[in-house]
Every structure is written in structure tokens, then in C-alpha cells.
């Protein structure tokens, strides 16, 4: 066979391989672009789905515990957990619901009054007048308060969207907690068989990480809420119960939550007198210091501590992309991502070790 005839045979084969590679590259790029666009368009929905899975994990953990201790069917265990949750919620609403509602309404009334009193107190001192003249515009501040507060009612109407999201999260958590294996089976159907084990390893690692993270966070919220309530009660700050509940809820959001929770408490405390205001700031600083340096490390022994700078970075990115929902879900997303990365690294190390052992045996 001459060189020309060999070239005539080989060239079409090379052209065919080249066309296949080009087609594969174009298909991969188009698929990646379509996936990126879909993720971008549904980013808030995906965060809601993740929130639902997080709630399902908490509900499933409680259900599994009841199922193990009482040896009941999973459906009956889930029903018992839900009934207990609703009973506890109903008891709380019956015992303190009306009081909390009154305090929330009173907080909306007292907070602007407290802000004006703080302005008056600042204006009565030399350094306060200097601060108002050089850093704060008293007239503009008063105008902003008067403009914003009457519009808080219509703004709260936007909570209808939040309520819809909470209903979706609740429904998803119940469905997934009832039959988690069925959803995992559906996931296996759409994943290539060679990657099923690796996906299961990643999911298991994320579940373990999030389970301990949730436990640590719930206990931290309980500690912060109790400390703040008792401290404000001793200091004589109005609405101590409501402010304690706000502090507990906002503890779920790292970095941002503690700063948000201190604002209404400090405003009401400074309206009482400056000493009470300073003691309130010290109370919040002490409570979060103890929570961050004693309680949380003790609770998070079995999980990797989330680097605060990394969590804050994820919060900023998600805040830009999705708003407040991203800030709330940044920490559990970071925890799940770290668990998956650690699982993949461990899997890679095991694979390399197995290959090296096999080579050494040969």
C-alpha cells in the first residue's frame, strides 16, 4: 500500500474523530450553559428546596430517634413527632402568643420613640451635639423615621411571600422525611452507575455535617435567647421576652444576626438611660462571646468548625444573588459544601492508596 492510499484511508478517520470531538465539546458547552442559565433563573427556588431538605433532615432525625426508641413504624413515628411539634407550638401560642403579639406591636410603637429620645439625649451633651452636627443630620434622621414607620405595615404585607415559602418548605420537609429512601432511589436513576457510590458518600457526609450543625445551632439559639431574656429582665429593659426571642432567632444567621438583634434592644435600653444602654451592649457582647468561644466549640466537636471569613464571603455573594434568603442559608450551604469536599478528598486518598498497594503487590 502506497503512502498516498494510506493517507486516503487515515485522513477520513481522523476527520471523523475530529468532528466527534468538536460535536462533544459543543454539546458539553451548550449543556453547561443551559445548566448555568437554569440555576440562575431558579436560584431562589433552589435555595427554598435546600431549606426544605434542611428542615426534612431535622424532622427525619427526630423521626428516626422516635422510631428507634419506641420501635414504631416510620409513618407512625413521623405522625407522633408532628403531633408533638404542633402541640408544643399550640401550647406556646396559648400560653404566650397574645403577650408576644402585644409586645411586637408595642415594639413597633416604642422603637421610634426610643430613637427620638436617644437623639434628644445626644443633643443635651456637648459631644452629642458635635456628633449630630458632624456625623448625623438630626432633621434628616427624624424625617427618615417618620417616613419609614408609617410604611412598615404595607411592607409587612410582603411577608405573604415569606409565608408561601415557609409552607413550601414545610410540605417538602414532611414529604422527604416520610420516605427519604424513595427520593434517594430517584436520584440513583438519573446518575450513571459508576458514580452512584461516590454520590452516596457525598450525601452521607453532608447529612452528618448538617445534622450536627443543626443540633449545635439550635442549642446555641436556646442559650442566647435565654441569656438575653434574663439579662434584659434584670436590667429593666422593656419587652425583654420579645427581644430574647428575636435574639434567639437571629442567632441562626452567623455574622449578621447578632448585629441585627442588638439594634432594637440597644435602642430601647438607651432610651431608659445611657448606663442601661451600655450594660445592654455589654450583655449582648458577653452572650455571643460565651456562645462563640465556649458553647459552640463544645457542641461542634464532631463537625468541622466553619471559618467565619468563608461563611461571611458566602453570605455576601448569596446576598447579592438572592437577597436575604441567601444570607440565611449561607452557613448550612457552606457546611454541606465543606463536607462534600472532605468526602471527595478522602475518597481520592483511598483510591490512590488502593492503587499503590496493588502496584506494590505486583
pLDDT digits (tens, 9 = 90+) for 107-155: 767 777 776 766 666 666 665 565 556 555 554 544 544 444 444 444 4
Does residue 327 sit in helix, strand or coil?
helix
Please report whether residue 6 resides in a domain.
no
CA-CA distance, 139 to 27, in Å (whole number)?
Answer: 61
Which residue range(s) make up the domain with 26? 12-41
- The predicted structure's pLDDT at residue 56: 92
Please report whether residue 306 resides in a domain.
yes
Tell me, yes or no, whether 212 and 286 share the same domain: yes
Tell me, yes or no, whether 142 and 232 share the same domain: no
Please report whether residue 5 resides in a domain.
no
Tell me, yes or no, whether 172 and 252 share the same domain: no
- The predicted structure's pLDDT at residue 96: 66
pLDDT under 70 in the chain at which residues?
1-18, 96-101, 103-104, 108, 115, 117-162, 295-305, 352, 354-356, 358-359, 361-362
Tell me, yes or no, whether 215 and 352 share the same domain: yes
Last residue of a domain, one of 178, 212, 233: 178
- Do 334 and 314 meet the contact criterion of CB atoms below 8 Å apart? yes
Please report whether residue 139 resides in a domain.
yes
Locate 192 and state its grid cell. Answer: 450513571
- The predicted structure's pLDDT at residue 344: 86
CA-CA distance, 148 to 112, in Å (whole number)?
Answer: 10
Burial class (CB in 10 A: 0-12, 13-18, 19+), 347: middle
Tell me, yes or no, whether 240 and 360 share the same domain: yes
Last residue of a domain, one of 178, 209, 240: 178
Specify the DSSP element, H or E, that contains 82.
helix 74-92
Tell me, yes or no, whether 141 and 218 share the same domain: no
CA-CA distance, 74 to 80, in Å (whole number)?
Answer: 10
Tell me, yes or no, whether 147 and 232 share the same domain: no
Tell me, yes or no, whether 35 and 52 share the same domain: no
Burial class (CB in 10 A: 0-12, 13-18, 19+), 266: buried
Other Cβ atoms closer than 10 A to 359:
8
**Integer CA distances (angstroms), 324 to 46, 282, 321, in order:** 14, 27, 10
Q: Please give the tally of structural domains in the chain.
A: 3
Please report whether residue 100 resides in a domain.
yes
CA-CA distance, 354 to 349, in Å (whole number)?
Answer: 9
- Do 339 and 57 meet the contact criterion of CB atoms below 8 Å apart? no
Tell me, yes or no, whether 257 and 161 share the same domain: no
Cα–chain center distance at 64 = 23
Does residue 158 sit in helix, strand or coil?
coil
Question: For the residues of 112-124, what is the DSSP string, one character each?
Answer: HHHHHHHHHHHHT
- Do 245 and 101 meet the contact criterion of CB atoms below 8 Å apart? no
- The predicted structure's pLDDT at residue 198: 87
The C-alpha torsion from 184 through 189 and 192 to 193, rounded to 10°, is 80
In 3D space, the residue among 55, 32, 27 whose CA is nearest the CA of residue 328 turns out to be: 55
Locate 249 and state its grid cell. Answer: 432567632
Please report whether residue 3 resides in a domain.
no
Phi, psi torsion values for 191, nearest 5 degrees: -110, 135
- The predicted structure's pLDDT at residue 124: 64
- Do 211 and 61 meet the contact criterion of CB atoms below 8 Å apart? yes
CA-CA distance, 65 to 177, in Å (whole number)?
Answer: 13
Locate 294 and state its grid cell. Answer: 465556649
Tell me, yes or no, whether 101 and 148 share the same domain: yes
- Do 122 and 129 meet the contact criterion of CB atoms below 8 Å apart? yes
Tell me, yes or no, whether 212 and 343 share the same domain: yes
Tell me, yes or no, whether 214 and 165 share the same domain: no
Question: How many CA atoms lie within 13 Å of 10's alpha carbon, on the beta-carbon side?
Answer: 7
Please report whether residue 265 resides in a domain.
yes
Locate 308 and state its grid cell. Answer: 467565619
Amino acid at each position: 500500500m502506497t503512502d498516498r492510499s494510506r493517507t486516503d484511508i487515515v485522513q477520513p478517520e481522523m476527520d471523523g474523530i475530529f468532528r466527534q470531538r468538536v460535536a462533544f465539546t459543543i454539546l458539553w458547552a451548550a449543556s453547561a450553559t443551559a445548566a448555568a442559565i437554569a440555576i440562575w433563573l431558579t436560584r431562589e427556588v433552589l435555595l427554598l428546596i435546600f431549606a426544605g431538605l434542611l428542615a426534612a433532615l431535622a424532622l427525619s432525625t427526630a423521626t428516626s430517634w422516635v422510631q428507634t426508641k419506641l420501635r414504631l413504624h416510620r409513618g407512625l413515628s413521623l405522625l407522633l413527632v408532628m403531633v408533638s411539634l404542633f402541640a408544643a407550638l399550640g401550647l406556646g401560642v396559648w400560653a404566650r402568643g397574645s403577650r408576644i403579639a402585644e409586645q411586637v406591636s408595642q415594639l413597633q410603637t416604642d422603637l421610634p420613640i426610643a430613637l427620638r429620645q436617644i437623639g434628644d439625649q445626644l443633643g443635651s451633651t456637648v459631644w452629642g451635639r458635635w456628633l449630630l452636627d458632624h456625623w448625623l443630620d438630626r432633621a434628616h434622621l427624624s424625617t427618615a423615621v417618620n417616613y419609614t414607620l408609617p410604611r412598615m405595615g404595607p411592607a409587612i404585607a410582603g411577608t405573604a411571600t415569606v409565608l408561601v415559602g415557609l409552607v413550601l418548605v414545610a410540605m417538602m420537609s414532611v414529604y422527604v422525611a416520610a420516605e427519604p429512601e424513595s427520593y434517594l432511589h430517584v436520584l440513583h436513576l438519573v446518575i450513571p452507575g459508576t458514580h452512584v457510590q461516590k454520590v452516596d458518600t457525598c450525601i452521607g457526609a453532608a447529612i452528618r455535617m448538617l445534622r450536627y450543625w443543626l443540633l449545635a445551632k439550635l442549642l446555641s439559639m436556646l442559650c442566647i435567647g435565654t441569656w438575653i431574656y434574663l439579662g434584659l429582665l434584670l436590667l429593666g429593659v422593656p419587652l425583654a421576652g420579645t427581644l430574647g426571642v428575636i435574639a434567639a432567632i437571629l442567632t441562626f444567621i452567623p455574622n449578621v444576626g447578632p448585629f441585627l438583634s442588638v439594634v432594637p434592644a440597644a435602642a430601647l435600653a438607651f432610651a431608659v438611660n445611657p448606663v442601661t444602654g451600655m450594660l445592654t451592649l455589654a450583655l449582648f457582647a458577653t452572650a455571643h462571646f460565651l456562645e462563640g468561644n465556649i458553647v459552640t466549640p463544645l457542641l461542634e466537636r464532631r463537625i468541622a468548625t466553619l471559618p467565619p471569613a468563608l461563611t461571611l464571603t458566602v453570605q455576601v455573594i448569596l446576598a447579592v444573588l438572592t437577597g436575604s434568603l441567601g444570607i440565611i442559608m449561607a452557613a448550612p450551604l457552606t457546611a454541606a459544601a465543606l463536607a462534600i469536599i472532605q468526602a471527595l478528598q478522602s475518597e481520592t486518598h483511598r483510591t490512590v492508596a488502593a492503587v499503590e498497594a496493588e502496584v506494590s503487590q505486583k
